[in-house]
Structure 1
Amino acid sequence: MTNKKPAKTGNSASPQTNRAQKSRPQNNRAQSSRTQKSNAATSGSSLMPLLLVVIFLAGLIGAAQQHMLPYGIAGMYLTLSLLTFIAYAIDKSAAKRGKWRTKESTLHLLALMGGWPGALFAQNVLRHKSVKASFRNVFWLTVVANLAVLGYGIKTGAVDMFI
């Protein structure tokens, strides 16, 4: 009969320390990650993006009423914003249920076409696609591109063909 010593685990802490460690949750890293994501989503849901959406859409409607912009442009932004918001809501629901998801490229295309106000509203209200940095970066590029095209269309008079 041989006497085997218990294998060392590399932990030379006292028994009191071991008991304290055992009473802590084992998955601190996962909890920390969830807390950081939750805090990021909460802090990202400020009123500023929602205010931006309201000001932009109100400005479009006001410009159309002053005959500075065709009503069709304002209607297009409102319609695409509603469709984009619905697409985000469907994707959020699918994510919760583990079902088929909407491609990120589809969400970006909707934003690029003029649905970015609805996307921004959905990101803040539904808290969907509001944490993933790579998605947010591409999203803001679509916003800038869309506004650049709108500005160019207004400056050159190309939006007048929607009258």
Structure 2
Amino acid sequence: MVEISSYIIFLAAIYLILNIIAFCAYGFDKAKASMNRWRVTEKTLLILAFFGPFGAYAGMMAFRHKTQKKPFTWAVPLFMLIHIILGVALVYFVL
């Protein structure tokens, strides 16, 4: 039988990977924008932000990318808030 802590570690690792992917996508898109080349679509960046909002926000700040675009200025912080609320609820009700 697998302990519950193994599941938590597994889920935390997946969550970390999702945030790293989001961070890298924002950096990749910024690099492509600087070279006037093919870009990652805004829809894709927002989807990545939904699953990895902290990485997306860090990417926005680190690369100064999409910080003036309306959908990003409200959606990414909203996604972060949703993840914080879900995280607190998970800790409070499950653990």
Q: TM-score, normalised by structure 1?
A: 0.48
Instruction: Look up the match of 2:23.
Output: 85
Q: Deviations over 1:79-111 (max 9, x none)?
A: 111111111111112211222221222222222
2:10 to 68, 72, 75: 72
The amino acid of 2:31's aligned partner reads S
Query: Residue type matched to 1:106 in 2?
Result: T
Separation in 1 of the partners of 2:91 and 2:41?
A: 31
Q: Deviation above 3 Å: which 4+ runs of structure 1?
A: none
Contact 1:108 1:142 survives alignment (8 Å): no
AA aligned to 1:84 is: A
**Is the CA contact (8 Å cut-off) linking 1:84 and 1:118 kept in structure 2?**
yes
- Distance in 2, matches of 1:72 and 1:80, equals 12
Q: Distance in 2 between matches of 1:145 and 1:76?
A: 18
1:122 to partner: Cα distance: 1.2
Query: Quick check: 1:139 aligned with 2:71?
Result: no
* Aligned residue-pair number: 90
Compute the displacement of 1:75 (Å). 1.0
Match of 1:126 among 58, 63, 84: 63
Indicate the structure (1 or 2) with the bigger Cα radius of gyration: 1
* CA RMSD in angstroms, aligned pairs only: 2.2
Tell me the percent identity.
29
Aligned-partner Cα distance in 2 for 1:156–1:105: 33
SS in 2 for 1:88: helix
Name whichever structure is richer in helix by fraction.
2
In structure 2, C-alpha distance between the alignment counterparts of 1:105 and 1:146, rounded to whole Å: 19
Structure 1 unmatched ranges of 5 or more: 1-66
Aligned equivalent of 1:149: 86
